[in-house]
């Protein structure tokens, strides 16, 4: 079911997630994994084999899973609470708000197979609302990594961060993003992957490589597009947005709802501080039946969709 | 007022009756203090505060191994108020146990007070997790007990739930998992006052047969009079708890216990006494002290 295509050069970020928490757990016995019968889908099989006492499987019970995570944090553990993003967020939202964020519990929430990765299983299993919901919760760090490297870095940064963090772990195949040597990941800091002054494309997660492809296509048309990876949605790097607004045009794109998520966050800032024409790409609502990759294309969440939005904004400048 | 608890470690130095007398005195003080707080604030939940006062007093003034100067000590016993609206009982106990100055109780519910309508661990030492919406404290308590189990730690975890709260599904997710994990370091106390906000539990969404439900989930069940301090102290005795099962005390209580006109009356769930009613309540509680 929905096994990510093992295309050459494409990766399932769950592997990086699992590898990172195993590495952390080997060095720090406070690290525990908590899951909801999701050992397989969270790729925690090796973790269970290596650290059997530190895998807490609560069964199919997400509210209890998140509460237990907060309790483990109270007991001095650093719990990585992992489950399908759709269930972890929607079913346990009040536990995320109260037990984790409001209580400032040191819980790391890992929303696995986020966005529309579950494709044909339908909107019950899609998690396109999660970022809009979680962004509204005070004192909760929200991270949407773009590739295996960034996923592993985000997991490590979350472990080092004292406080609740949500990390969105994609299962849709993505390539490794090319970064300058010595690149580092910092919570709350946007990453400019390509410079450009005609339009800024602000993305995260599975849209990052699509945006880089779009920028290449735009360059061939004489449009210089800046590509900004806004991996941390909360807290937001407003300095990077202000600088992006100076280009006079911003396109946002995300594997989530077109309202309330990353685009919404950027728009809130710009409307108040740097009014600028924008296009916000994302899903308009519950998705129809279709594979994950088909749904992305259907919603225009691809290089062509980003190019079209950028062209329209640039044309509107004159 | 003597704020020092007679620690269970001192149990040898005190008879059970001496310990009970101490707890009763503290519970009486808590009842008077929380009623004054509620009247002063103009709101609160006196019914549930008063049904829980004897239970909470047993824990804070005898059973819990806690040090108010080290509220985050890793090996402390944990108390979690899952019925988070009963802050009158919790705050008076925390102040009595020295976690913050007693005078701060006068700030209850006032602007920017640390004493919110529901407990907040970020502001207030001694609070383990923020509660308020029902069905939250118990799963968190299970998580703490799992941490203790993994570490082989010596601390115990106590969770006080309302009985109406057991209508929340998350409570049974937690109960099932605690039974599965055989959490012998966990004790849940159900404040079985048989009243929820608007009516009797059995008329709203019946809980009975409640003891059978817990047994079916793998728990050691003790049914007691939740106002009988000696029975509570015996039931809280660590040596009495099986090592391979979590324990639940179904503590039969009365909402508003200790104040004649509030006792077993749903209307006092969040009613506030007037000046005359407060005077009567204080007089009754003072009379109880000399009994």
Each residue's pLDDT tens digit, A285-312: 999 999 999 999 999 999 999 999 999 9
Inter-chain CB proximity B173 and A61 less than 8 Å: yes
Q: Do B153 and A75 touch (CB under 8 A)?
A: yes
Q: How many domains does chain A have?
A: 2
Q: Tell me, what's the pLDDT at B159?
A: 98
Do A214 and A309 meet the contact criterion of CB atoms below 8 Å apart? no
Q: Which positions in chain B touch A67 (Cβ < 8 Å)?
A: 136, 138-140, 142-143, 170, 174
Q: What percent of chain A has pLDDT over 90?
A: 97
Angle at B90 between CA B59 and CA B168, to 5 degrees: 95
* Residues A231-276: tens digit of each pLDDT: 999 999 999 999 999 999 999 999 999 999 999 999 999 999 999 9
Same domain, A264 and A135: no
Q: Do B173 and A64 touch (CB under 8 A)?
A: yes
Residues B187, B234 contacting (CB under 8 angstroms):
no
What was the pLDDT predicted at B8? 46
Residues A94 and A225: their CA atoms lie apart, in Å, by 40
A141 token code pair = 């760090």
Two tokens at A169?
């772990």
Query: To the nearest whole angstrom, how far is the Cα of A134 from the nearest Cα of chain B?
Result: 18
- Of the two residues B134 and A6, the one the predictor is more confident about is B134
- Does the residue A250 lie in any domain? yes
CATH assignment at residue A294: 3.40.50.920
The closest of A120, A163, A119 to A141, measured between CA atoms, is A163
Chain A residues with CB under 8 Å of B132 CB are 98
Same domain for A122 and A254, yes or no, is no
Predicted model pTM = 0.96
Instruction: Note the pLDDT of residue B4.
Output: 46
Q: Report chain B residues whose CB lies below 8 A from the CB of A91.
A: none
Both A229 and A96 in one domain: the answer is no
Which of A62, A150, A191, A254 is catalytic? The answer is A62
* pLDDT confidence bin for A4, thresholds 50/70/90: very low
Which two structure tokens, joined as six digits, stand for A154? 């985000």
Same domain, A157 and A196: no
CA–CA dist A42, A111 (Å, integer)? 9
Closest CA to B86 of B123, B140, B46, B121: B46
Residue B9 domain-assigned?
Answer: no
Whether A105 and B120 lie within 8 Å, measured CB to CB: no
Q: What is the predicted pLDDT for the residue at A7?
A: 72
* A125 has a pLDDT exceeding 80: yes
* Residue A56 sits at the chain B interface (C-beta within 8 Å): yes
- Strand pairing class (B247-252; B220-225): parallel
Q: Which long-range contacts (CB under 8 A, 24 or more apart) does B37-41 make?
A: B37/B88, B37/B91, B37/B92, B37/B105, B37/B106, B37/B108, B38/B88, B38/B108, B38/B272, B38/B273, B39/B272, B39/B273, B39/B275, B39/B278, B40/B106, B40/B108, B41/B108, B41/B109, B41/B110
Judge whether A308 lies within some domain: yes
- When the pLDDT of each residue in chain A is averaged and rounded to a whole number, the result is 96
Question: For residue A295, what are the domain limits?
Answer: 191-317
For position B12, what pLDDT does the model report?
61
Instruction: Kindly state whether residues A218 and A82 are assigned to the same domain.
Output: no
DSSP per-residue codes, chain B? -------GGGGGGS-HHHHHHHHHHHHHHHHHHHHHHHHHHT---HHHHHHHHHHHHHIIIII----TT-TT-TT--EEEESSTT-HHHHHHHHHHTTSS-GGGGGGTTSTT-S--SS--TTTSTT--S---STTSHHHHHHHHHHHHHHHT----EEEEEESGGGGSHHHHHHHHHHHHTT-TTEEEEEEE-SB-SSSBHHHHS---SHHHHHHHTT-EEEEEETT-HHHHHHHH-GGGS-TTS-EEEEEE--TTTTSTTTTT-GGGSS----HHHHHHHHHHHHHHHT-
**Given this model, what pLDDT does residue B11 score?**
52
A62 is catalytic: yes
The CATH number for A39's domain is 3.40.50.970
**Do residue A225 and residue A127 come from a single domain?**
no
Residues with pLDDT less than 50, chain B:
1-6, 8-9
Q: CATH number for the domain including B168? A: 3.40.50.970
Q: Are residues A115 and A237 in the same domain?
A: no
């Amino acid at each position: 079911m929905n096994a990510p295509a093992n295309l050459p050069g494409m990766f399932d970020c769950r592997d990086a997630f699992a590898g990172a928490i195993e590495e952390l757990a080997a060095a720090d016995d406070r690290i525990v994994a908590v899951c909801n019968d999701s050992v397989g889908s969270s790729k925690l099989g090796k973790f269970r084999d290596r650290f059997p006492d530190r895998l807490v499987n609560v069964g199919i019970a997400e509210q209890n899973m998140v509460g237990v995570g907060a309790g483990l944090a109270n007991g001095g553990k650093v719990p990585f609470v992992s489950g399908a993003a759709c269930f972890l967020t929607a079913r346990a939202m009040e536990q995320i708000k109260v037990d984790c964020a409001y209580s400032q519990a040191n819980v790391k929430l890992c929303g696995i197979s986020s966005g529309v990765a579950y494709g044909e299983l339908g909107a019950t299993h899609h998690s396109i609302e999660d970022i809009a919901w979680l962004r509204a919760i005070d004192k909760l760090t929200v991270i949407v990594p773009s590739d295996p490297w960034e996923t592993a870095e985000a997991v490590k940064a979350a472990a080092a961060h004292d406080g609740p963090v949500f990390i969105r772990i994609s299962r849709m195949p993505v390539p490794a993003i090319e970064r300058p040597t010595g690149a580092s990941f910092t919570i709350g800091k946007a990453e400019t992957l390509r410079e450009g002054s005609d339009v800024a494309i602000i993305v995260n997660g599975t849209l990052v490589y699509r945006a880089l492809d779009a920028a290449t296509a735009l360059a061939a048309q004489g449009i210089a597009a800046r590509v900004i990876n806004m991996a941390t949605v909360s807290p937001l790097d407003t300095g990077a947005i202000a600088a992006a607004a100076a280009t006079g045009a911003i396109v946002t794109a995300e594997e989530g709802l077109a309202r309330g998520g990353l685009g919404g966050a950027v728009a809130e800032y710009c409307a108040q501080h740097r009014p600028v024409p924008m296009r916000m790409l994302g899903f308009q609502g519950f998705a129809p039946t279709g594979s994950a990759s088909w749904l992305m294309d259907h919603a225009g969440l691809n290089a062509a969709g980003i190019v079209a939005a950028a062209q329209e904004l640039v044309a509107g400048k004159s | 007022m003597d704020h020092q608890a007679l620690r269970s470690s001192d149990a040898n130095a005190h008879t059970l009756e001496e310990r009970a007398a101490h707890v009763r005195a503290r519970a009486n003080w808590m009842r008077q203090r929380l009623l004054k707080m509620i009247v002063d604030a103009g709101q609160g939940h006196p019914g549930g505060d008063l049904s829980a006062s004897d239970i909470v007093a047993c824990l804070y003034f005898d059973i819990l191994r806690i040090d108010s100067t080290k509220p985050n000590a890793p090996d402390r016993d944990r108390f979690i108020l899952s019925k988070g609206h009963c802050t009158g009982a919790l705050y008076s106990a925390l102040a009595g146990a020295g976690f913050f100055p007693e005078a701060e109780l006068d700030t209850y519910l006032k602007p920017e007070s640390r004493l919110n309508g529901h407990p907040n661990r970020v502001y207030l030492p001694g609070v383990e997790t923020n509660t308020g919406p029902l069905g939250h404290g118990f799963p968190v308590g299970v998580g703490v007990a799992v941490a203790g189990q993994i570490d082989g730690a010596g601390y115990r975890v106590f969770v006080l739930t309302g009985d109406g709260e057991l209508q929340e599904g998350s409570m049974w997710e937690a109960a099932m998992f605690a039974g599965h994990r055989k959490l012998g370091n966990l004790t849940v106390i159900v404040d079985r006052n048989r009243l929820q906000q608007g009516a009797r539990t059995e008329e709203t969404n019946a809980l009975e047969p409640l003891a059978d439900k817990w047994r079916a989930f793998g728990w050691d069940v003790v049914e007691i009079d939740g106002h009988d301090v000696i029975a509570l102290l015996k039931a809280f005795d660590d040596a009495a708890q099986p090592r391979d099962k979590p324990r639940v005390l179904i503590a039969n209580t009365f909402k508003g216990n200790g104040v004649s006109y509030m006792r077993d009356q749903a209307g006092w769930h969040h009613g506030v006494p007037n000046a005359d009613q407060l005077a009567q309540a204080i007089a009754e509680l003072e009379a109880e002290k000399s009994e």
